[in-house]
Amino acid sequence: MNTQISVLLFGITRDLTGQSAVTLPLTEGARVSDLLESIHAQFPDLARIRSMMVAVNGEYAEPDLALSSSDEVALIPPVSGG
C-alpha cells in the first residue's frame, strides 16, 4: 500500500527544486532513507548536498526512522552565516 509524504523544502533545496514543498509516494512503513532515495531520484541535484539533514515532526531524524503520512517532514540544508 502506498502513502503520500509531504516534504517541506528550505534554502538551497527549495532553489534546486523550484518548490517550497513536494509530495512523494512511498510504501507504507517507508523510512527516512527511502524518502531520500525517492527525492534524489526525482531531483538529482539534491544528491549533491552532502550535509543535508531530515527533520521529522521538528526533530532531526536518523535514516532508519519509519515515516507515516501524518508526519511533518523537512529537508534542512547546510546553513552558513557570519
pTM: 0.88
Q: Which residues contact 77 (CB under 8 A, 6 or more apart)?
A: 10, 11, 12, 13, 49, 52
Q: What is the pLDDT of residues 14-53, one digit of tens each?
A: 999 999 999 999 998 899 999 999 999 999 999 999 889 9
Report phi then psi at 39, rounded to 5: -70, -35
Classify domain 2-76 at the CATH superfamily level. Beta-grasp domain (3.10.20.30)
Domain ranges of the chain: 2-76
